[in-house]
């Protein structure tokens, strides 16, 4: 299943980062502290938009292949990694939070997948496969 640009994910990320920036601005921190946290928020927003929405980074997930005993993740740079779908993966009709324990790595990898990044039929197939795996 090939992942493409998701306008819904872009909108959700922008809303969440904007709300976080407003919260930082409303705190009673000094101006240098506020600027520091705003710089952190902006850099995080740019990173996640580039990785998860625009798929520009080498570690962006371009393709998900579910197999009976796990999942293969193909990154933007062409590398392919095997992993196990974690029990905390969330499947809903609106989005999927796919959490994968990648082979050879200590931490899990996760991505949010909206229907507009896969197409409705492929998204439905992903939901069914994840629910019954």
- Crossing angle of helices 31-48/7-26, nearest 10°? 170
Q: What pLDDT tens digit does each residue of the chain (133 aa) get? A: 899 999 999 999 999 999 999 999 999 999 999 999 999 999 999 999 999 999 999 999 999 998 888 899 999 999 999 999 998 999 999 999 999 998 888 899 999 999 999 988 999 999 998 888 7
Q: What is the pLDDT of residue 68?
A: 86
Q: What is the pLDDT of residue 63?
A: 93
Model confidence, pTM: 0.86
What are the Cα distances from residue 5, in Å, to 17, 50, 65?
19, 10, 18
């Amino acid at each position: 299943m090939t992942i493409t640009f998701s306008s819904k994910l872009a909108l959700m990320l922008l809303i969440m980062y904007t709300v976080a920036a407003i919260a930082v601005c409303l705190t009673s921190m000094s101006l240098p502290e506020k600027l520091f946290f705003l710089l952190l928020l902006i850099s995080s927003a740019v990173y996640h938009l580039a990785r998860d929405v625009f798929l520009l980074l080498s570690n962006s997930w371009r393709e998900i292949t579910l197999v009976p005993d796990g999942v293969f993740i193909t990154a933007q740079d062409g590398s392919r990694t095997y992993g196990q779908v974690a029990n905390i993966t969330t499947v809903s009709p609106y989005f999927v939070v796919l959490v994968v324990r990648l082979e050879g790595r200590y931490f899990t990898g996760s991505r949010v997948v909206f229907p507009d990044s896969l197409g409705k039929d492929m998204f439905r197939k992903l939901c069914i496969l994840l629910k019954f795996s």
